[in-house]
Amino acid sequence: MKHFAANTGKHDNAAGRDRRLTVIVFSLFFSWLLAVPFEGQVLYAVMDYHGVSPQSFVFGAMAAHIAGLLMCAVFIRNTRTAKRLVLISIAVCAAATGVLFFPLSHLWTAALLAASFLVGACVAAWGFYFKEYTPKDERIKTMADCLIFANLLMILLNMSAIYLSPQTGLGFSVAVLAAAFLFALRLPQTETPREPVKRSAAKPDAISKNKIYALTFLCLFIVIVTINSGLMYQVVNPAFAHLKLLTSWYWAVPYVAALFIMRSLPKQMNRSYILYVAIAMIGFSFILFLFMGRLWSDYLIINTLLLGACGVYDLFWWSILGEMLEYDNNRAKIFGIGLAANVLGVLLGGLIGNAISTEQNHTLLAFGVVLATLVMLPLLNSRLTKLINRHVFLSALPKTPDDEQTIRDQPHVINELDLIERLTEREHEVMLLLVSGKTNKEIADELYIAERTVKYHAGNIYGKTGTENRVGLANLVLKKPDTPKM
């Protein structure tokens, strides 16, 4: 038993190190994206220092970012090339940030566009690491951790640019990218062989169609709901610009708080109703923006509602995209398309916000977005549940005695025949060796596969059986059925 516990600890420690490393790298370069080209306060501070309007630079950077997200899948098809792209992108972004130290010139435009394109590709390529090194049942927590740490770093970068100097903010931004580069050098690049996702209730062509329909509808939903984020950047935030002391740090606090709360909820808790609460929060925030004043107390209420809702929705579609990585060998394509829809919605909201002159029209547009979201949510849930059987943001599927979903939602009644049905042949072999207490290396040697492949299969096994580690799997598999009472 001690041998089994020790082996379990080694496996969990190795998996934890890989996960933490990917979180660190993502958080560092994503914080730069939020602080500089993507409506970042560091960029705004630099532009203000030189007396230049930042809007054309920001909108151009967003367009380049979308192109990078979409183009990544064309030339990145495995983990090895994904690592190279991450390293190149971080280096170029650091060089582009350095350009901003010099007087304004056309080189600024070229640097920002190139960096925004590459960081978009970098974010999409991170999908390989998100899928490879995070167990399926841990993806919501991993994504929440990434967004939380990235936004906390962004707050620090913003405050350094606002309260110290724009050059200080740029210097810290370069330091963050340098740290990201050093950690990225340690990213693993071994490619793990993929097996098709086993779905007994659907044929491969049906899964492909469901994937296309679900991803298309999800992207449309993301574009529409994030229009409000663009309005926030161009309408709400400027209205409270006089509260610099408060807005410089509190702006992202409700967002981080919402992510932390959602991350900490029990795994079994269904979060689908929270999506409706979040869309109501967005509606109320714009109503209050129209009728309330511009005092610090008004800002606290409006910003808390709006950014808290943004945190809920960002975690929703990031985690859904993480689940959809199971259905495509090129993970950069799924991530790239979904996140491009996110940036497109923000860009459209910003452009519309600039074109509309009155706050009443802004509020009417926001309400239109809220109503469209309310109509689309049930339809989106229906599309996604045809592809993703288990996800905390989706309503539970109807259960029947013969429904496979009943088995998935009640892991405590799984017997050996159920496990054989739900696991691939190789996963079943790995499962038996896992519960016997063998180490990853021993399993790899016995099955003539790579140790990294063992970890990959183990993650799939935990996800399919609803367990978290070897101990839970052993308790599930070795549990004897209750003896009927006489």
DSSP string for 392-438 = TTSPPPP--TT-HHHHHH-GGG--HHHHHHHS-HHHHHHHHHHHTT-
Torsion 80-430-19-412 (CA) sign:
positive
Confidence of residue 417 (pLDDT cuts 50, 70, 90): very low
Confidence of residue 136 (pLDDT cuts 50, 70, 90): confident
Q: Using a pLDDT cut of 90, give the percent of the chain over it.
A: 32
Specify the pLDDT at position 481.
44
Q: What are the start and end residues of each CATH 1.20.1250.20 domain in the chain?
A: 13-189, 204-390
> Domain 408-478 belongs to what topology?
Arc Repressor Mutant, subunit A (1.10.10)
Highest mean pLDDT among 105-109, 210-214, 473-477: 105-109
Question: Domain 13-189, what architecture?
Answer: Up-down Bundle (1.20)
Alpha-carbon separation of residue 73 from 66, 121, 336, 337, 459 (angstroms): 13, 8, 7, 9, 25
CA distance 52 to 72: 32
Q: Is 401 exposed, middle or buried (0-12, 13-18, 19+ CB in 10 A)?
A: exposed
Q: What pLDDT digit, counting tens, does each position of 61-106 carry?
A: 899 999 999 999 888 888 888 999 999 999 999 999 999 999 888 8
Place of tokens 């060796």: 433
CB atoms within 10 A of CB 440: 22
Q: What are the start and end residues of each CATH 1.10.10.10 domain in the chain?
A: 408-478
Specify the pLDDT at position 482.
42
> Domain 204-390 belongs to what topology?
Growth Hormone; Chain: A; (1.20.1250)
Place of tokens 């230049």: 52
Specify the pLDDT at position 14.
54
Average pLDDT for residues 122-141, to the nearest whole number? 85
How many residues are present in the chain? 486
The torsion angles phi and psi of 107, rounded to 5 degrees, stand at: -65, -30
CA distance 337 to 335: 6
Alpha-carbon separation of residue 236 from 59, 225, 282, 306, 472 (angstroms): 17, 16, 12, 10, 48
Specify the pLDDT at position 479.
60
Question: Average model confidence (pLDDT) for the chain?
Answer: 81
Lowest mean pLDDT, pick from 34-43, 280-289, 459-468: 459-468
Q: What pLDDT digit, counting tens, does each position of 271-313 carry?
A: 888 999 999 998 899 889 888 989 999 999 999 999 999 999 9
**pLDDT: is 391 or 115 the higher one?**
115
CA distance 249 to 229: 18
